[in-house]
Amino acid sequence: FRKLAGLTLMSYIDHHGVKVRSEAPPSELAVAVARHFESMEVDEERVIGGFLSRLSGDGAEYARQTAYFDGTASSHSVRKRRRSKNAARPSEQVAAKVTRTDENGSWILASVQRFYCDTETYDVQDEDDTSKLIRLPWNHVMRLSTGETSFNKGEHVMAIFPETTSFYRAVVSKQPVWKLTPGSTTPIVKELILKFEDDEDEDGRTPHRRVPSRYVIPVPSVYFHEEEDDVDLNHPTSTAT
C-alpha cells in the first residue's frame, strides 16, 4: 500500500470513511488503508457471482445490486469471525478487565495464554501474579498500541499509571509528536503526555505524566465500538394524515 499514490489513498479513505489525522503523512495514510482493507469481510460467493455476471455481459445489473444498502448490520457470525481474526495472540500483552465493576483501575496488564474461538473467551495471566489463569470474555480484553496510531490532545483514554500495572482514566494533555525510527519509513508516537483522573497534588493541580504509547489505549466504549452499531435497524414508519 505504500507504493500507492497519495491521491489513490485519499480516494480510498474518503470512499470508506477511514479515520485519519488531517496532517497525516502518506506513510500513515498507507498504514490506515492497509488495516482497513485487512479488516474487510468478503462474501466469496457474491464476488465470484459478480465476476461471472460481468463475463456474461450483465455487469450493470450486478453493480446495481451490490450498490444497494438495505440498512442491516453485519450478522453475528460475521462479527464473530472478525473478532477471532483480530484476537490477541498467545504471549501477547493486553489490557484485561478483571473486576465486575467499571471503577478506575479495573483494567490491568496481562498476558494472553489462549483464545477460544468457539466461545470467544481468553485465558490470561496477571503480569504481577502468574500463578493462576483468568478466564475472560472477548470484550474484557483490549490489545495494546503499536504507536502507529495515536490520540489527539483532549481525548479521553486509559493508561498504565507510572510504576503500576493498572490502567487508569486520563486525558491527553499535549499533542503527540510523531517520529521516524531508524530504518523505518512509518512514523510512530513513542510516548504520550497525560493528566490522570484523581491525580491532583496537595495544591489541587494535576501533573503532566509521560507514558509509553504502547500502554495508552482507548476507553472501552470507543475500542469495542463497531460502525454497524450506528445503523438504524428500525423500519421507517409513516403516519396517516
Give residue 54's pLDDT: 60
Whether 9 has a pLDDT exceeding 60, the answer reads yes
42 vs 193, residue with greater confidence: 193
> Rounded distance, CA 235 to CA 239, Å?
13
Question: DSSP label at 236?
Answer: P
Give residue 228's pLDDT: 47
Amino acid present at 204: G
Give residue 216's pLDDT: 95
Calculate the CA 16 to chain-centre distance.
16
> Rounded distance, CA 94 to CA 111, Å?
6
pLDDT digits (tens, 9 = 90+) for 152-182: 899 999 999 999 999 999 999 999 988 888 8
Mean pLDDT over 127-133 rounds to: 88
